[in-house]
A and B are shown apart, each in its own frame.
Chain A
């Protein structure tokens, strides 16, 4: 638990997909962090964590992007982002530099301060004051990087359990990859399609009306597949439900029927 007299200052790591596709996820994250007593700043020097280059094998560009990100996020007590995958990438940064390189120590320092949001709320802040009017049956997909690189499993469930209206039905194979995998889903489209098809089948079997998760890559993938299959399941990032930011449509849904304009 944090010292109550001290307001922690958070450097928010926005993440590309949230910035581009789902700004509401970032606003919801800020709302949650502020409700938990933090001061949130948005470092302007940040871009992407560099994972696309890292996983393509372009280590030189990855290291350049890492140096940029490390610099942008220095000086904040904590760095928090709404993605296990992107925060997991920040945790890979020390691998990019030789131990004697000064950047190695700076990468280590960032790794020690960087948290995915549900993990930060539960593991660091021990926050237990979630207030949300959300009502409905949900199921939760455990995104791979968060689950296996950062140990995120119980944290999102602990937070959802604080919402009276949430009924969580676990799907089969919630820990199996949805087939997104960054550029994998385009490079190996047929295999990815099979994997996401398995996933949407397991989602549909739960009967849940809402699918939640902590990573937009996976969520966009599953939302797109559910819609193509005509399965009536709404897909949202977990922070939208936790922060009660539900006034706009779910992923890939039309804003028009809600009477909103672009």
Chain B
């Protein structure tokens, strides 16, 4: 997909005036956070589970190689295959080869952000294989030629009218505004695709080392059809998804469902453990796991290590007032919101993603709802530091902060600067007590008045009083 992160500000400006998008974003704001809050209220030990989740993830990351090798050994023992892919390109080629070896023409897909990350669909299409998205949201987006704007609710930026028009244009059926009718249409369209697919590709929410299983959670059941009907099942996922045991997995499932949608448990939790055995009635004949690194192993032991705890619940973006204002596409690549502002620079380079870690007030809401306590503001600040050190911070901001710091390190000069600013602002404020337009801070006065100081600086007044002997 085309990266538009360098145009973040322009993207945001357009998004803010997009009436349909703004209406759809209202649904995010009013939906997910309330559902999560209710779910958390019903589980008094939720915060203890979060602590456990954080600690367990830290343990896993510290022993990532061991658990991945255990996982691999068990997949092989079950008759499956594991492919280690350092880059997106490695992963794409590996997946294409498996598909070509099977003579595949169509591939059904369960929802997977890692396949978005490696740009799989375009690659398969370019090589004559048709990918069919089967998650309802992803299916709608595929018809529209769009990418997800949210990691668990990919089409959250759309409204009912949009879906109605899209289906009408592609399904050649009477236009309907009834969600149940639209759902039925999608179902009918997809059933035939499920049966015809040569290969099914899914992601994985977790990989279980002790059994060599992968698990996907969905609310639609499309993942089950994707991975059981075709003769070949390919799991495309990233290395940090591994957990030691089934019991560990259940801890994260409890955290994930509540944090993501406010459900106590996701509707379908489907484990895949190798290909079909002789006694099984259904299932794939071949089972492949494509493990994608794509910069993640470089995060181990570094300042971004904590980001590897992420279980992709989307709570951070659901609660983010910036995401809530502009939506996911403004961020310009696969992962939006706070988690994306940390991850995207790692994956596409900080030069292209420089605006993202700065697009935060550091309000801290994301960190406060993260099920595994990722300090997202701290990690975004890490990128700002990186930008400052590499001179990627815009010149004006860099010069501004250095000049300001020169004064801030010299108390007497700083007082003088404050007094001068105070006096100027009071003069500009005049009789009204506020400033209507001030070109040096037009970002402020384009949208708001600037209150003028109410009197001389405190330090001035205080020191005058001290001298006068009060």
Contacts and interface: CB of A to CB of B under 8 A. Distances in A.
A and B physically associate: yes
B364 A196 contact: no
Interface stretch (A126-134, A152-160, A249-257): A249-257
Nearest to A50: B408
A189 interface: yes
Contacts of B378: 95
Contacts of B410: 47
A190 B455 contact: no
Interface in A37-79: 42, 44-48, 50, 52-59, 61, 64-65, 68, 72
Interface stretch (A100-108, A116-124, A216-224): A216-224
Nearest to B421: A20
Q: Is the interface of A mostly helix, strand, loop or mixed?
A: helix
A46 B411 contact: yes
Nearest to A14: B458
Interface residues of A, number: 74
Contact of A188 (B9, B381, B397, B456): B9
Nearest to A144: B363
Interface stretch (A161-169, A172-180, A201-209): A172-180
A53 B321 contact: no
Given A148-B364, A177-B365, A179-B321, A61 B409 contact: yes
A61 B414 contact: no
Q: Which of B326, B384, B405, B446 has the most CB of A within 10 A?
A: B405
Contacts of B452: 21, 252
Given A148-B365, A191-B16, A256-B431, A65 B456 contact: no
A20 B458 CA distance: 7
Nearest to A30: B462
A243 B397 CA distance: 38
Interface string B444-458: 101111111111111
B358 A187 contact: yes
A193 B358 CA distance: 16
Interface string A1-37: 0000000000000101011111110110000000000
A145 B364 contact: yes
Interface in B393-413: 393, 397-398, 401-402, 404-405, 407-411
Give the size range of B's interface with the partner.
Answer: 35 or more
Nearest to B456: A23
Contacts of A20: 418, 421-422, 425, 453, 457
Contacts of A223: 449, 451
Given A56-B401, A57-B388, A194-B325, A19 B381 contact: no
Q: Which of A47, A68, A148, A187 has the most CB of B within 10 A?
A: A47
Contacts of B431: 254, 256
B23 to A, nearest CB: 14
A169 B401 CA distance: 39
Contact of B397 (A56, A179, A196, A221): A56
Contact of A59 (B13, B385, B448): B385
Contact of A56 (B363, B393, B421, B426): B393
B454 A22 contact: yes
A52 to B, nearest CB: 6
B451 A21 contact: yes
Interface of B: 9, 12-13, 16, 321-322, 325-326, 358-365, 367-368, 378, 381, 383-389, 393, 397-398, 401-402, 404-405, 407-411, 414, 418, 421-422, 425-426, 431-434, 441-444, 446-459, 461-462
11 contacts: A21-B425, A21-B451, A42-B459, A45-B411, A53-B401, A57-B384, A61-B408, A68-B409, A144-B365, A188-B359, A191-B322
Per CB-CB distance, the 9 closest pairs between chain A and chain B, nearest first, are A181-B361, A252-B451, A57-B384, A224-B448, A189-B443, A186-B443, A57-B388, A177-B363, A23-B458
Given A56-B388, A57-B393, A144-B363, 10 more contacts: A22-B453, A23-B454, A24-B454, A68-B411, A144-B365, A191-B16, A191-B325, A193-B447, A198-B321, A224-B449
